[in-house]
Structure 1
Amino acid sequence: MKKALLPLLITIFFQCFTSGLLSKSYGFISEIHIIGNNKTKDVIILRELPFKRGDLIDMESLESMMEQGRNNIRNLSLFNFVYVSHISDLEKEPGKYSNIEIVISVDERWYHFPLMGISLEDRNLSSWLKEPNWNKVTTDLGFKIYNMWGNNQTFTAAYIFGYNNGFKFEYSNIYIDKKGRHLLDISLSRKYSRTVNALSILDKPFYLKSDSLHLENAYQAALTYTFRPGIRLRNRVTLQYDISRIDSLVLANNIRYWGNSELNRRAVTLIYGITYDQRDNIQYPIYGYFINCQLKAYTNSDMSIKYGQIKGDFQYYGSISERISLSARLQWGLSAKNIEGYIFDKAIGYEDVYLRGYEFYVADGQHYATLSPTIRYKIMPTTIYLLKFLSFLPKFNRLHLTIYGKSYLDTGYSYHKYQNSANTLSNKLLISWGFGVDIVTYYDLTFSFDYSFNQLKEGGLFVSLKKPLH
């Protein structure tokens, strides 16, 4: 009896399995056409697709896969416009295979820029606008080439002059294998600085300045290796070597500036980071999420100073309706060290860890956490404008523009074991709120105008220019 049932069960299973297959429509990716990539190599675009030539795919998932591929290509930041469509020789007839041709059309950006960057020697644009001083301006003069050789590599060389002096050289996204899974970044810089953020006073960075002395002279060399096992996953390891000298005036103002009384230092920094990016658009995401975790270790040449940090960044984006969307960003950091040093205690208000409404302030500490939820309303859907006065510059005369209104509530906390009585924002829950407008346009430019309030009973308009986080 058992022997008779076994063939019957196998037959029933096979019929159910094959009927499930035959009830669906499948297609072969017979060809992938790319249009408009005059400089960008095909392989750079093909790497970003969730399918390849010869794949057999479910026709029901084709549209979502093409949308995912479009988002991946757009997130390369090489094109102003990306379109993905398909041509099939059969409609979705059950049990039959279609031959599918994928058509990708891209509008390449301008990739060669003279580098005439202007750096305001302040923490952000709002801080500089509050007390504008053209003597606190540093100019970078050189050139920056994106998409070098059509391989999505970036090369930068610049001479730095003005308030600070020096040079920098960077070459990034160097592929060292055919599949594009292994990459290198190289950088070298030399800096002579007349200003040093020596300490914090009244919860604001105090910048020690000198018109006659370079308060800090530094060389820095860094090598970054990136392993990209998947389209959305990256592992990075950075080895950085610094040779620095500070003037005695820095230690005279803060003996604990960098952990000891030496004026010269050679230091090594090792950083490991992992990033998983599922955002639809890195410039201004509407749905998806972003996860980044980083481990950092720092020591000087005789290993008398040891510092370690782990920090994370989690971003979530969701759409409520066609015009309304939500976003939330959680950032946190934990650190440990064997000696007290001001440069190791920079928490809220430095780099990209900030609270809207506290742009003029910092909250120093060894550990920190911030949460920034935002609700956004699309005031003006994406509109394309043809700028006739730039008709002689085809890479710039077609502009897309989207406008969002937003409101937000930011909270943050930093723990400082060695808190100075002159600084009161550490070891305290910080809250701010406000509303604003974001203008999103081409070349990854987003202009933000925020009117914010904080628990210090202060309010004001803050202007910022945001670049996408990779």
Structure 2
Amino acid sequence: MLLSILIWSLSLSDTTATPQPVADSVQTDYWVVRSVQIRGNQRTRERIILREMELKAGDTIRRPVLTEKLAWDQRKITNTNLFVTVDVAAREVGSQQIDIDVNLKERWYFFVIPIFDLADRNFNEWWYERGRSLRRTIYGARINYKNVTGNADRLNAIFEFGFARRTQVLYTLPYIDRAQKTGLSVGASYQTNKEVAYRSALDKLVYFRSEDLMRERFYTNVILTRRNQFYNFHRLELRYVRNSIADTVARLNPDYFLNGQSRQRYFLLSYLFTHDRRDAVAYPLQGHYFNLAANQYGLLPSDNLRLFELTASYTRYWPIGARLYASNSLRGKLSWPERQPYLNLRGLGYTSDFVRGYELYVIDGQRYGLLRNTLKYQLLNTRKQLNWMPLKQFNTVPLALYLNVFGDMGFVDNSLAQNYNSRLANSLLYGGGLALDIVTFYNIVGRISYSVNRQRQTGIFFSFTYDL
């Protein structure tokens, strides 16, 4: 709690240092951009790169702000996740003229990734709560194909077997119009389980397993995106969902779909607004991020689910100085009505929204609030060139290490807490600890942390994310 107050105080008093302007050889206060030179984009079309740049050929730019604009253009190109390295610099070609040089090294875009994964929410639940059973593993293959046509489009496919079976396909084209503002995605997913978490008790998932099929889930969706400005994104999704469970599961928890039903079919309409001005999507150190989502479950009279949900989050990142960085994040959810199917009654612990220190718990509820605060110290930040590696997409390896101290607070409001014997809902939660983050190329981030929560429970926890 003290860490929360400290970081918010720092946030209110923070001022961003003004970047130093590039050296100028004359006294005029502006530059004229003669041209933008892009090198290294063997597959990516130039218009995809230029779409991310505020600086254009023919622009007149004040000298004191040039450095800052070059830095933000470099960050925006980096955040397309199409390149291993991005360098954007100005080169003087006359007394008042400059060329903008954009030097790129493209990623490897096609991956077939063997899957050996865990069926549980995270590694920590599998390690501490599920007996480290290899029976609870998933195997298969994941296909990630970025920049398929050079237009930053993506094709993702998942084929999973083992503890759970899933087939999923999604194709995304970020821009379908000449103005490069409107995008389109289409996808479908089919998943089956022989073991299902049919309820929670004492804030832990309770499973039932059978040799017969216990749950079947299918959806297909179409997503329309709009990006009118560099940092603002709109997303509208229409999804058809069909879920079913075995009669045994419906008897064990009649509220799984409500009223003992074994089938759930509905249309979902969702809208998401995102304002993203982070310096790096995978591991931001500066900037801010805001999103607001509204989800309406059930559109037609025949739909057997009626639920409205609002979620929002705001996160700010800023450098303090001397390799110190801070961030604070505020997140929340509201949903109606009070009586909801267990499958949709999601509070903290199911996704990345959780109080650190409570990784082993799920806290169901119709509403929640979460405050997360982090102080980071940069131990290392370097870029290694592996000359022995023949593939240039892999021979440049950035590596950074950060030591963190964190403190979180959260609250889950659940009017049905007694139904699931919850001890953590409707009470203040807080936790804190230390962590070491390892950040490298292809958005790979690994973390090992030690934390303690309000109940004085301690633990060592691990996490790993990537975006190939």
Confirm or deny a common fold (TM above 0.5): yes
Deviations 1:388-413 (A, max 9, x none): 55x13322122110111010111000
Q: 1:201 corresponds to which residue?
A: 201
In structure 2, give the amino acid aligned to 1:336.
W
Corresponding residue of 1:189: 189
Name the SS for the 1:267 alignment partner. Answer: strand
Q: Alpha carbons of 1:142 and 1:448: their partners in 2 closer, same or farther (altered >3 Å)?
A: closer
| Higher relative contact order (Cα pairs below 8 Å, separated by 6+ residues) | 2
Q: Which residue of 2 aligns with 1:331?
A: 331
Shift of 1:59: 1.9
- CA distance, structure 1, for counterparts of residue 463 and residue 245 of structure 2: 31
CA–CA separation in structure 1 for the residues paired with 2:466 and 2:296? 27
The aligned residue for residue 58 of structure 1 is 62
Task: Give the distance between the partners of 1:136 and 1:294, measured in 2 at CA.
Answer: 33
Conserved in 1, the CA contact under 8 Å of 2:338 and 2:415? no
* 8 Å Cα contact 1:305/1:339 also seen in 2: no
For the Cα contact (< 8 Å) 1:344–1:366, is it kept in 2? no
Give the drift of 1:159: 2.5
State the match for 2:350 in structure 1: 350
Distance 1:189 1:413 in 2: 33
Shift of 1:23: 7.3
Secondary structure, in 3 states, of the residue corresponding to 1:73? helix
Partner of residue 398 from structure 2, selected from 388, 397, 400: 400
**1:129 Cα deviation (Å)?**
2.1
Aligned to 1:70: 74
Q: For residues 123 and 166 of structure 1, what CA distance do their matches in structure 2 show?
A: 16
- Which deviations, in whole Å up to 9, do the C-alpha atoms of 1:202-231 show, x marking residues without a partner? 111122222x11211122101111010011
Structure 1 residues 347-426: aligned runs within 5 Å: 347-380=347-380, 382-387=381-386, 391-420=389-418, 422-426=421-425
Structure 1 residues 142 and 325 mapped into 2: Cα distance closer, same or farther (>3 Å)?
A: closer
Unmatched 5+ residue regions in structure 2? 1-25
Alignment-derived partner of residue 35 in structure 1: 39
Which residue in 2 is equivalent to 1:219? 218
What code does the residue aligned with 2:112 have? Answer: P
Residues 338 and 321 of structure 1, relative CA distance in 2, 3 Å threshold: closer
- d(CA) in 2 for partners of 1:372 and 1:159? 35
Aligned to 2:167: 167
Alpha carbons of 1:148 and 1:304: their partners in 2 closer, same or farther (altered >3 Å)? Answer: closer
Structure ID, larger Rg: 1
Which residue among 121, 124, 138 is the counterpart of 2:122?
A: 124
The alignment yields a C-alpha RMSD, in angstroms, of 1.7
Residues in 2 aligned to 1:356 and 1:128: alpha-carbon distance in whole angstroms? 17
Residue 394 of structure 2: SS of its match in structure 1? Answer: coil
Separation (CA, whole Å) in 2 of partners of 1:142 and 1:127: 23
Sequence identity of aligned pairs in percent?
Answer: 28
Q: How does 1:302-317 map to 2 (within 5 A)?
A: 302-317=302-317
Once the 2 structures are TM-superposed, how far is the Cα of residue 303 of structure 1 from its aligned partner? 4.1
> Aligned partners of 1:166, 1:347: CA distance in 2, in Å?
25
* 2:321 partner SS: coil
State the distance in 2 between where 1:101 and 1:208 align.
65
Deviations 1:120-179 (A, max 9, x none): 110111111223121111223252201111111110233221122231111013421022
- Secondary structure (helix, strand or coil) at the match of 1:230 reads coil
What is the SS of the residue equivalent to 1:320? strand
Q: 1:272 matched to which residue of 2?
A: 271
Opposite residue 233 of structure 2, the aligned amino acid is R
What residue identity is the alignment partner of 1:397?
A: N
Q: Name the TM-score, length of structure 2 as normaliser.
A: 0.90
Query: CA shift at 1:264, angstroms?
Result: 2.2
The residue identity in structure 2 corresponding to 1:327 is: S
Q: TM-score with structure 1 length normalisation? A: 0.90
Change (3 A) 1:126 1:394: same
2:53 to 49, 54, 62: 49
Partners of 2:158 and 2:414 lie apart in 1 by: 38
Work out the CA distance in 1 between the residues paired with 2:116 and 2:295: 30
Assess, with a 3 A threshold, how the Cα gap between structure 1 residues 142 and 311 changes in structure 2: closer, same or farther.
Answer: closer
Q: Distance in 2 between matches of 1:158 and 1:332?
A: 30
SS in 1 for 2:435: strand
Matching of residue 82 in structure 1 with residue 86 in structure 2: yes
Residues 93-118 of structure 1: CA deviation (Å, up to 9, x unaligned): xxxxx222100011111111013233
Q: Is the 8 A contact 1:115 1:158 kept in 2?
A: no
Whether the 8 Å CA contact 2:74–2:88 is kept in 1: the answer is yes
